[in-house]
Homo-oligomer: A and B are copies of this chain.
Amino acid sequence: MENMTLAYYAAGAGAFALLFALFTMSQVLKESMGTPKMKQLSEAVQEGAMAYMNRQYKTLAPFAIVVFIILWGLKYVIVVPEGGHLPVGPASAISFLVGAVCSAIAGYIGMNSTTKSNARTAEAARSSGLGKALQVSFRAGAVMGLSVAGLGLLGVSVLFIIFKSPLIINSFAFGASMIAFFARVGGGIYTKAADVGADLVGKVEAGIPEDDPRNPATIADNVGDNVGDTAGMGADLFESYGATTIAAMLIGNTLFGFPGIIFPLLVGAAGIIAAIIGTFTVRTSEGGNPQAALNVGLWTTNVLTAIATWFIAKTIFADPSFGSVSTGIFMAVLAGLIVNVAVGYLTEYYTSNLKPPAIKIAEASKSGPATNVIHGLAVGMESTFIPMLVFAGAIYFAFWSVQSNAPEGQGAVWAIYGIAMAAMGMLSTAGMVVAMDSFGPVADNAGGIAEMAELPPEVREKTDKLDAVGNTTAAIAKGFAIGSAALTALALFSAYVDGVKIKFGLDEFIVNLTEPMVLVGVFIGGAVPFLVGARTMRAVGEAAFGMVEEVRRQFREIPGIMEGTGKPDYARCVDIATKAAIGKMIFPGIIAVCVPPIVGFGLGAKALAGFLGGLTTVGVLLALFLANAGGAWDNAKKYIEAGNLGGKKSEPHKAAVIGDTVGDPCKDTSGPAMNPLIKVAGTISLILGPLLTRL
């Protein structure tokens, strides 16, 4: 059944999601922005965010162009085998650019939506109440979520319709990855530099509250929430989405031909339609529970996707030669959906301020900052164990379910499709997950604007209620991002091995762990996440230092700033954070993009396979460790601030503030950098595989 119409369906679903996102956006824009002061503040945040985005993409453009030229030009250097395809030449270069540009567009749309909704959410909370505020902020998030998933699906489908082969278009994933890595790292540095700068000088030294308009770094801080949490997470999941879809198509092509290619696209289409339906179920009343409303949305999406996948699998793999593999494929997709829920729950457990891990850290704060930090490190380390078992279980289950449902003799070969399908299942609901994640910063910003515009305290209470829910959804989304990165990386790894086999004409390209080159690759791959983690963490320290100096200078030099008569120079702080983030994202980015080719060309295809194995394992571990330690430190502080153990300004609270500051770069910069790191290595290897000259 080779029916290209099906690809048009997928493209149509992607386009529909985009249109729906634009329509939702227009609905949001109809809401009032409130007082002139609120409008002005919102515009300042938006301006800063857009300035950052423009600068970021301007900085990345030359890198993208260089890669574009290389991909195109390699055509003239490398001899393409007769009848074969190599991932170089105009089509690949164009696919790369489309991936990069789509990622940027998704970022712009989402950013535009969330930064334009903060004042509107605050105003909704003020004039109409909680239900309306949830509606506005969630809709703003949904614009981001549906743009990410919609553009991902649309981009891949259209490229496939044009170029016909997944091998040609796999550089789409590399384009998305490269942008994602820079966006994650740059956004991560930006948000923490601004946050630490605003907190250390404003809250600690000057003793003014969070989001106080007298703090010169407060706009930068609010911009940071958007460029870090919204744009960074969006780019991250856009990348996972694109990379997984393409890896699944590549593997599917080798194993099943056209049905194997089209199936992932259709699962994506099902997931995106399910997410759109899911958004309609998110609503709450004045005294209601916003968390419950969001859960209904997520479960609706998951269940609808699962049901649709069953029918798609049965239809696409209906040919008798496939045996009952459709059942196995459905089970693999289901495994992905379950991992989604499980990892979200685990992340929430390890970081929530209502659960033992964070509470134990808070209690350790009684004997000072050192014990707080020690316990936080312990919680972070311990929090990796069960999620790793879940991933291992999912890998096994996904392989097994395809294998045991395949016709006699095909099981061992076909099983590899299982892992790609688990990844696809997990990511099919990305639209909803990103929507839930992006709603958090909107609520957070709305609270900031309420504070800065001096709205009555009950407005802040309502936005705080939403913000608290946002912290949970952010934790779930973080778990989702890590889990999807892990499964995506494994799918990319499988697709890479597949590509090498095709190139070298080997029936079995064996990545034997007992071979020296594989071990060498594993050791180098394992060390890279630590190096990138170190550099990004230090970057935050240095960038924050510059911000601290500037805020101190403004407090010292601008007359009347503390009395509210002198106006702080917000723009300068925004500028400093922007410059620091852009400047310091380059080195980690170069490591991420350059080490795989060095290993591949220098040490060979087996070393590169070992490299990917080591990188993925260690990268996922570090991502879990850093994200959960940071989250737990944050919530240990919040637990004390809620009045426990002496409450705010007590000695335990001071200790917990130190732990929280340590956790900031862990959870918002270095930890999140791991996801795109392992994926960018995978997507670049996918291109490298068929180009390598030695095993």
Q: Which A residues have a C-beta under 8 Å from some C-beta of B?
A: 200, 364, 367-371, 373-375, 377-382, 384-385, 388-389, 391-393, 395-396, 399-400, 415-416, 419, 490, 493-494, 497, 510-514, 516-520, 522-524, 526-528, 530-531, 533-535, 537-538, 540-541, 544-545, 548, 609-610, 613-614, 617-618, 621, 625, 658, 661-662, 665-666
CA distance A527 to B393 in the complex (A): 13
Enumerate chain B residues within 8 angstroms of A374, measured Cβ to Cβ: 537-538, 540-541, 661-662, 665
Q: Known: A392-B523, A523-B392. Is A378-B516 also a contact (CB below 8 A)?
A: no
Contact in complex: B618, A526 (CB < 8 Å): yes
Contact in complex: A384, B514 (CB < 8 Å): no
Q: Known: A392-B524, A613-B522. Is A537-B621 also a contact (CB below 8 A)?
A: no
Contact in complex: B388, A524 (CB < 8 Å): yes
Contact in complex: A391, B513 (CB < 8 Å): no
Interface centre among A370, A400, A614 (most CB of B within 10 A): A370
Contact in complex: A517, B389 (CB < 8 Å): no
Contact in complex: A538, B378 (CB < 8 Å): yes
Q: Which of B415, B527, B530, B531 contacts A516 (CB 8 A)?
A: B415
Contact in complex: B370, A520 (CB < 8 Å): no
Contact in complex: A617, B523 (CB < 8 Å): yes
Q: Which of B368, B379, B537 contacts A381 (CB 8 A)?
A: B537
Contact in complex: B524, A389 (CB < 8 Å): yes
Q: List 21 A-B contacts (CB under 8 A).
A: A200-B368, A367-B548, A370-B661, A371-B541, A374-B537, A375-B538, A378-B538, A380-B534, A381-B534, A384-B531, A388-B526, A392-B519, A392-B520, A392-B523, A396-B517, A511-B514, A513-B518, A522-B613, A530-B621, A530-B625, A614-B617
A160 to chain B, nearest CB (A): 25
Enumerate chain B residues within 8 angstroms of A497, measured Cβ to Cβ: 514
CA distance A359 to B635 in the complex (A): 32
Contact in complex: A391, B523 (CB < 8 Å): yes
Contact in complex: B658, A369 (CB < 8 Å): yes
A418 to chain B, nearest CB (A): 8
CA distance A494 to B530 in the complex (A): 26
Contact in complex: B514, A658 (CB < 8 Å): no
Q: Which of B388, B511, B524 contacts A512 (CB 8 A)?
A: B511
Complex: chain B residue closest to A612, CB-CB? B513
Closest 10 CB pairs of A and B: A382-B534, A370-B661, A388-B527, A381-B534, A399-B516, A511-B513, A392-B523, A378-B538, A378-B537, A392-B520
CA distance A683 to B391 in the complex (A): 27
A404 to chain B, nearest CB (A): 12
Interface centre among A364, A382, A610 (most CB of B within 10 A): A382
CA distance A364 to B200 in the complex (A): 14
Contact in complex: A373, B662 (CB < 8 Å): yes
CA distance A514 to B524 in the complex (A): 18
